[in-house]
Amino acid sequence: MPELPEVETTIRILRKKILGRTFVDFWTDHYRIDKKIKGLKIKEIRRKGKNILIDLSDKKTLLVHQKMTGHLLIGKWKKTKESWVSQVKGPLLEDSMNRFIHLIFFLDNRKMLALSDLRKFAKVELWNTNKLEKAKEIKNLGPEPLNKNFSLIKFKQAIRSKKGKIKEVLMDQNVIAGIGNIYSSEILWQADIHPLRKTNKLADEELKKIYKAMKNILEKSIQLQGESFSDYRTPEGKKGHFDTIRKVYKREGEPCPKCHTIIKRIKVGQRSAYYCPSCQLL
């Protein structure tokens, strides 16, 4: 599932490509789209946690949560008998992960905003902006980890507000917004903290190391446009490059970059956690 860096990459590119454009029409073979979106102008594009929020005229907001395999694309497509085919050469046409088009918004400059979603789990909803801000899925989100106001003190308070294993707490969207399975593993490895450590047993210095690692890794991943070893692609159809510096996630059986001990994988709350048994002691 796209996490904070992937979603942040998406909104930054969308701002450059479609801000100020108007929705003329749409096509879908799966999603329920409110017809009221026709004629609405894109005023702002922002992110809350893993949610993409496209603020429109008439006090409406289009919410997109890409879920497991969804990603938004900007381009031009032509309908064939079997599928939509990109008219833009390059990754939009050549990368198979960009071919699962199930939703297209037609814009007033003849460009298209499409959703490629292999498993069709993504959420796409048109909201009244005021109601969306009060909705539980937005209102209950924790603080943004890269917000300048999210200090070390606030981070410690957030982590200690929730009892449990640090891996699970980092992924709890009501504690901190945007971190998922990939980056929680990377953060804890960089901080030398075992994923099963209990939050109430972590010392101040250990929390400081997690905080610094969190900021460092998320910022680096945004610079590299996210992680694309699986389904995620940027709105231009390109892969992100965080994979070039990924240390432990999906590297079970490989040597730890720090000490060369073999990386292990365990289950934490039905999710896989990757760690070094020498660097990250329980």
Catalytically active residues are: 2-3, 50, 271
Tell me the three state secondary structure of residue 55: strand
- For residue 27, the cross-strand partners are 104
Residue 14 to residue 8: CA distance in whole angstroms: 10
Q: Quickly count: other Cβ atoms within 10 Å of residue 105's Cβ.
A: 25
The CA-atom distances, in angstroms, between 77 and each of 17, 73, 99, 118, 177 are: 16, 11, 10, 17, 34
Tell me the three state secondary structure of residue 184: helix
Rounded (to 5) percent helix, strand, coil in the chain:
30, 25, 45
| DSSP state string for 46-63 | EEETTEEEEEETTTEEEE
For residue 231, give both structure tokens: 């389904």
Q: What is the dihedral of CA 259, 263, 268, 271, to 10 degrees?
A: 130
Residues 6+ apart with CB under 8 A from 254: 262, 263
Q: Give the type of residue at 154.
A: K
